[in-house]
Amino acid sequence: MLPVERQNIILSHLAVSESVRTIELASILEVTDETVRKDLENLEKRGELLRIHGGAVRPNQSRVELALTERKQVNREAKTAIARLAAERIEPNDTIFIDASSTALTLVEHLPNFHLTVLTNAHNVISALADREGIDLICTGGIYEPRSR
């Protein structure tokens, strides 16, 4: 099967569902995961889809409109690297701000285990840190935006 044929099949699947998984596409197309990843990369370069960890989603008008679970998967390795570097620079008793961005939310998973004050505008950060010992949480006011959830 030609790459263009595989890519048309991938786009057909995306037209029916909001996301596709690499392993499922490999099975359907009877090719390797690597072949599917190359096809997804080409389709992303053309703006026809957005790759996420393990597959792809339909492109939206804006990446901001992607659900948080999808945004967290986009460039996951880079976000983890950024989060680890940021966490290394946090010292005991620091006060830090963590916003609602998916990169900043990745930082929550890598926060050191000592006393911190965290200022945030993100309910996800509050939920993740509410039961953590040694974390003082301060919430900002504002308008709740359900799409950022």
DSSP string, 2-70: -HHHHHHHHHHHHHHSSEEEHHHHHHHHTS-HHHHHHHHHHHHHTTS-EEETTEEE---S-GGGS-HHH
- Write the DSSP symbol of residue 133: T
pLDDT at 73 over 80: no
pLDDT at 149 over 60: no
In angstroms, rounded to a whole number, what is the distance separating the alpha carbons of residues 59 and 47?
7
Set out the domains of the chain in order of their start, with CATH numbers: 3-73 (1.10.10.10), 89-144 (no CATH)
Tell me what pLDDT residue 42 has: 94
In angstroms, rounded to a whole number, what is the distance separating the alpha carbons of residues 23 and 29?
10
Instruction: Convert the pLDDT of each residue in 77-102 to its tens digit.
Output: 888 899 999 999 999 999 999 998 88
Average pLDDT over residues 118-129: 90
Average pLDDT over residues 136-142: 87
Residues sharing a CB contact under 8 Å with residue 126, sequence separation 6 or more, in sequence order? 120, 137, 139
Q: What 3-state DSSP class applies to 129?
A: helix
Instruction: Convert the pLDDT of each residue in 21-72 to its tens digit.
Output: 999 999 999 999 999 999 999 999 998 999 998 999 988 634 445 566 666 6
In angstroms, rounded to a whole number, what is the distance separating the alpha carbons of residues 74 and 57?
10
At residue 120, φ and ψ (nearest 5 deg) are: -150, 155
Residues sharing a CB contact under 8 Å with residue 132, sequence separation 6 or more, in sequence order? 111
